[in-house]
Structure 1
């Protein structure tokens, strides 16, 4: 019931946003915007896609408040200072690790320029703010609300940690875009969800998971994007698309980097006190 209500509220927000686009840009402009938001668009279209996650954040907050009496702070975590600290530590720590791991591949892979450097710098500030909105909304929904609600009711971590991660992974199932790699992408995203869930359980806030998520998406959306995916704000893009059969080995490498980043962030957020099981 909770997810259904949140999905309905989110759909209503996105529909309203698209109605505004239709009124402002007309029928052809609406179609061009919609196509660009799903891949191959320009900076404004990608920015609009990221902005649409405001609806997810509002829908999560509204549904959690209506059904469970949850406050916004309870979805983030009671200790906001710790949340901010863990956010910065994981963003900077994992961001540095992921960039260092990506650089050798960028030197040998078929990487193409995307945005002109001047245009990219002009969009960098707004794009980072919108990415914070996007990853914050997803972490609020999957870890701050869904995981913490399950953790309050279930004793087995395999359930309260695994179920939100699996739903998160399945939400990224896109065979039209990823082709034969669709289920491999689901697996990689589910692994990401498990890592984000563990960081949330260990810290008691979504700060660490949000910082980890932001570092990952900054690299994948603002620095080096996959051709034909969400590439409107990136400085470079790959010479291959998400449905390239040769992408599978890179997904395995990406998974290894995720696990290394998880180990790093666990050390960065470690505290001697007993750990919580969710952001409540």
Structure 2
């Protein structure tokens, strides 16, 4: 396989995947990973509903909306079952160890901290510089003291969630496809499109659903590029982590996944005009984060 010079590092991730790069193995692996994820999730949720007893219907509504810290921890940490599913698929179908999908451990740690450092600085600058609201004052969602007490566990829960998605899309699917197909149109675009489908929620986003799904597709393409340049999943995990920390722990939408946020935005996901007005800002910040991560891993 002839790789673009910028993507030479991708070979470190692809070499272990080549012996079992058949498409039918990938499909079987995805079925197994999905089965593990669904079975574990169903078992956990049924156990929680049984524990709640008569309060189960109310608890279910809270869990679906993610309006309390406990509900958010359950939702975010449940993504660990996705990582487990990929690990099982790698072992059963591809005879591969899970660490191979992450890349070299020392390089992974170095790139993770380098990208996180530069993204933290960028986010701090954005919070310090005007404007200081989103067209209307932000609404306090919990006290600063309570938020800080929960913050260590909250950061861990978000990390579990984003790393699971990166392991599945930019790790397992991208690596197995790239080991089989030379063209980035396959190994970059297919995982990105699947990622976008997973973010298509017309029942919540209304007329903005397509634009939000497109945002996810572009995000997937940029994370695929980062992974191929870096030779580890660390930069993609770091960018995804900072994006979700901002959207889940700092300023969340009031009608969805707000249980751990310090503030909630002055508009909801169903507010078509307000969300549409902020989507270009999100696209712009996504590009800035991608470029900053590329700079960080060149050092």
Q: Structure 1-normalised TM-score?
A: 0.91
| Larger-Rg structure | 2
Work out whether residues 40 and 81 of structure 2, in 8 Å CA contact, stay in contact via their aligned partners in 1: yes
Work out whether residues 75 and 145 of structure 1, in 8 Å CA contact, stay in contact via their aligned partners in 2: yes
In 2: Cα distance, 1:162 partner to 1:44 partner: 36
Residues 106 and 48 of structure 1, relative CA distance in 2, 3 Å threshold: farther
> Are residues 1:219 and 2:257 paired?
no
Indicate which of 138, 150, 159 corresponds to 1:123.
Answer: 150
Q: Which range is displaced more, 61-70 or 202-211?
A: 61-70
TM superposition shift of 1:17 = 0.6
CA distances 1:42-87 after superposition (whole Å, capped 9, x unpaired): 111111101111111101111122111221111111x111111111
In 1: Cα distance, 2:187 partner to 2:227 partner: 12
The match for 2:114 is 89
In 1: Cα distance, 2:222 partner to 2:204 partner: 25
TM superposition shift of 1:227 = 1.6
CA distances 1:249-279 after superposition (whole Å, capped 9, x unpaired): 21111111111111111111026xxxxxxxx
The match for 1:38 is 64
Work out whether residues 227 and 240 of structure 1, in 8 Å CA contact, stay in contact via their aligned partners in 2: yes
Q: Which runs of 4+ in 1 moved over 3 A?
A: 98-106
Residues 87 and 120 of structure 1, relative CA distance in 2, 3 Å threshold: same
> Are residues 1:73 and 2:99 paired?
yes
The match for 2:197 is 170
> Are residues 1:258 and 2:286 paired?
yes
Q: Structure 2-normalised TM-score?
A: 0.86
* Cα RMSD after superposing both structures: 1.6
Residues 27 and 179 of structure 1, relative CA distance in 2, 3 Å threshold: farther
> Are residues 1:235 and 2:268 paired?
no
The match for 1:278 is none
Gaps of 5+ in 1: 272-280
**How many residues are paired up?**
269
In 2: Cα distance, 1:64 partner to 1:264 partner: 32
> In structure 2, the residue corresponding to 1:232 is in which secondary structure?
coil
> In structure 1, the residue corresponding to 2:260 is in which secondary structure?
coil
Work out whether residues 101 and 257 of structure 1, in 8 Å CA contact, stay in contact via their aligned partners in 2: no
The match for 1:136 is 163
Work out whether residues 98 and 216 of structure 1, in 8 Å CA contact, stay in contact via their aligned partners in 2: no
Alignment of 1:142-153 (within 5 A): 142-153=169-180
Gaps of 5+ in 2: 1-26
In 2: Cα distance, 1:34 partner to 1:86 partner: 39
> Are residues 1:155 and 2:182 paired?
yes
In 2: Cα distance, 1:131 partner to 1:6 partner: 21
Q: Which range is displaced more, 209-218 or 109-118?
A: 109-118
The match for 1:269 is 297
CA distances 1:129-174 after superposition (whole Å, capped 9, x unpaired): 1111111111111111100000001111121011101101111111
